[in-house]
Chains A and B, each alone.
Chain A
């Protein structure tokens, strides 16, 4: 499994404030992903990256932006947090195209009041 860490693991914030979540991997995987998990829904893709500075949108990207300046780090930013963004956020990585298995981090639990 890829060595994936997420920080912070828990965060409480207020509506309207910016929030940045960090995903760090030690396996030199090319692809990185951000998902959110909510009751009644499966995990849903927010954004993903297929290389340094190469990112694209997923199913639920509105209100989120991402950046990847190094292979090992993928940042998810909520520009102005809303209560609908209260969720558990998971980062995942994949070695390369054609190796389709994704490995997940431990998650960040975000509460927006």
Chain B
């Protein structure tokens, strides 16, 4: 029952382009920026995209983010085996006293 809704799983073959969606509301995605994280098994999350579509240094340009209204998407082009991970969206939520909210995570499998 995460505040931000993501599909639990996604898959693609090497070289393919995949997208992962993140749906929220006017109090979170609709009024704040969206961030995306990649978590490899047994490791801490890594910032992949911040401020909707900005890549930190070192993140390949195969990863891109977009936002429209109360939804956001992460796109991965030229899929590679090392992209197999769990991906989370995150945003600030202005409701009540405000809090941080994450999506439930999407497990990406590279077939």
Q: Do A and B bind each other?
A: no
A→B interface (CB under 8 Å) = none
